[in-house]
Copies of this chain bind each other. A is one copy, B any other.
């Protein structure tokens, strides 16, 4: 995807949000997909020119990205893209496991009929995509799955913490470390989670979610190990 300059048309066709919001999602994608490499320095001036805007909104976007943990900023020095390390991956998934476990317990208690049927529909969609071997939608579908459960928890601070704070970094790890060889098992786990939620069994739902996420962690960690080893040998 090219950097999309802000034109008169895009401003009007888009719902005319603020410049920051418009470029934020684009930079997010660049980082998550690795077009901006982990650990690389970000030059405010250059980034601003790339999107045809000034440094003001660019700085605000970088601050947002820092909040989302995709960027690390140091005063008077500048911003760098976050680096992916084993230690941080473990910290991140440890926290995610607790939070999404909590979300799942709450969802089992509070989900309403409409949300539940949406969740069933998404699950069936995923199973269909799986049968068709459609790996792109598997990725997106997985994000949606967790997203919907978090929404159903009904706790706004929890939602904000997970979606506003952790989710983008998680997507970055998963995008860059994914070995797409695990969907069969993962979607079977999804089914069991939905069943537990539908049965209003909060304790079980939370437990299954924590296990499901631990599986994901192991998978991602293994892949990250390969990548870092590979990179180390490429340098020499």
Contacts and interface: CB of A to CB of B under 8 A. Distances in A.
Interface in A1-36: 17-18, 21
Interface residues of A, number: 28
B161 A157 contact: no
Interface in A143-200: 155-158, 160-161, 165-166
Given A69-B157, A88-B156, A91-B157, 16 more contacts: A18-B75, A18-B76, A56-B56, A60-B60, A60-B63, A91-B155, A92-B157, A94-B157, A94-B158, A95-B102, A95-B157, A95-B158, A98-B99, A157-B166, A161-B165, A161-B166
Interface of A: 17-18, 21, 56, 59-60, 63-64, 67, 69, 75-76, 88, 91-92, 94-95, 98-99, 102, 155-158, 160-161, 165-166
